[in-house]
Structures are given as structure tokens and as C-alpha cells.
Amino acid sequence: MAKNLFRIFRSFQSFVSLPFTKNQVAHPCASVAFRTTFDRTMVQALASFFSPKSRDFSLPNSSWGEEMIRLYEFYNNQCEGENHGGEWRRLPSYNRSLKYASGGVYLSKIIQSKARLFTRNIREPGAAFEYVVFVSKDEQRCVCVFQSGHLLEGPPGHVHGGAIATMIDTVTGSHASILSAPVMTANLNINYRSPIPLGNTVLVESCLDKREGRKLFISCKVTSTDGSKLHTEATALFLSINVSHLLRG
């Protein structure tokens, strides 16, 4: 047993010292020689556990279609930066750890290291939720470019209503968090107007209607990218909360 652990540790040392290129990162263990499948699995798990970097899932990947990329570039070119006007800014979407776990198995550090934001819990690019969120400089408007994957099918050939609701909650919640973090959803009212074909790219847009103390009222619509078809519209109520509420459960 001690010999096996030593061999795995040596393999891990070799793994973390490799000068990876972009292509190698996609298959990080390809350049390391392993004696067994068990060795490979353990080294990959160790690498994932000890990696200090969080991955930003809102950046383009190979699954994005032409319309998704076009709209990403359109809004990204308007973001703050040396050569941009600064009307918009992109919101990164990282994998995250469980910061507020309150008991049981979730206190395990290994379990925490594997935790993911719900819409980012499918590892296969393009299989489920592919999206990027931009917020306007004055923080009154938010827009999301969303491409649905094959795992989101509900009615044959179309996106599941629950997946659409998830995206609306994600976008309006992100918007509310920019305005008054942290927040929690108090009410979400959705009207489905026309189905979204599976694989299509759509726009999910939200705007702040009003604020009343801790309450934020936000409206949202899901449309085709040219704005000619309304797929879904919704209203949401968010409450600004104290972090202690999360700790109490």
C-alpha cells in the first residue's frame, strides 16, 4: 500500500510540473506515463483537488454556435477596457465551493472541492446550459446570451420549461446580486409564450422595475436573437439578505 501511494505521489509531482500548452490542458494527463488506471484516476483527482484556479465558464468554447459567438463578441466589444466604450461588463461564472455547508457529508473538503454552480454541473461542453451574462454600466439592464444543449430537452425538439425557468432565475438573480448582494428569490412568475427550439441561441434580458427597501422587482423576457419572437416573459421578486441567513438555513 505504501509503495502504491508513493508511486501515485511521484506521478502527481510529474503531472503538476509539466509545462502545459492550451491543447494539453484539455487532456492534462496525456503526457504522463501511468502504470495502472487507478494511478491515472488518483492523479487526476489530486490535480483537481489541489488546483488553485477557478474556471470561468462564461468564456467561448468549441460548442458555441456562430450566433452565440457573434453576440458574445458584440457585447464583449462594448465592455470596459482600453479599446471599449464601457457600456457593458461581462459577469464571470466560476465553478464554486460550498462556503456555507452546515453539516453531514457536505462538511467534507473533498465534497466541497467538487461542488458546482447548478447551471455549470454538466462537464460536457454544449450539453446543457451554455450562456454568458452582461450587465449595463448603469446596472439597470442585464442581458444573457443563452444556447441550449441536448440534455435540456422537454417537448420533443424543444427546451424544457424548467430549464427556461432556471435561466430566468439565473439572469434575474445575477442582476439583483449586482444591485444588492446577497439576495434570494422570493417570487418568480413565468408566462411561456412560444417554445424554444433545442440548440437555438436566444437572449434573456432583465431590467429593474423598482426597489422597495430590501425588495427588488425585476422583469425579464426571453426572445429570439433578432427580437422578432417572444418566447417567455417573467417577473421576479428578490430580497436582499444578510449572510447570517444562509448560515442559519
51/102: higher pLDDT = 102
Given a cut of 60, whether residue 221 has pLDDT beyond it is yes
| Measured distance CA(236)–CA(172) in Å, rounded | 7
Q: Which CATH number fits domain 66-248: 3.40.50.720, 2.60.120.10, 3.30.1490.100, 3.10.129.10?
A: 3.10.129.10
Given a cut of 70, whether residue 19 has pLDDT beyond it is no
Domain ranges for the chain, please list them.
Answer: 2-50, 66-248
Number of other residues whose CB lies within 10 A of the CB of residue 163: 21
Look at residue 26 in the predicted model and tell me its pLDDT: 39
Annotation says 169 is catalytic: yes
Region 86-102 average pLDDT: 75
DSSP count for the chain of H helices, then E strands? 7, 7
Owner of C-alpha cell 442559519:
248
The 10s digit of each residue's pLDDT in 178-211 is 998 789 999 999 999 999 999 999 999 999 999 9
What's the whole-model pTM score?
0.74
The 10s digit of each residue's pLDDT in 117-171 is 889 888 899 999 999 999 997 778 999 999 999 999 999 999 999 999 999 999 9
Q: Which of 39, 56, 138, 169 is catalytic?
A: 169
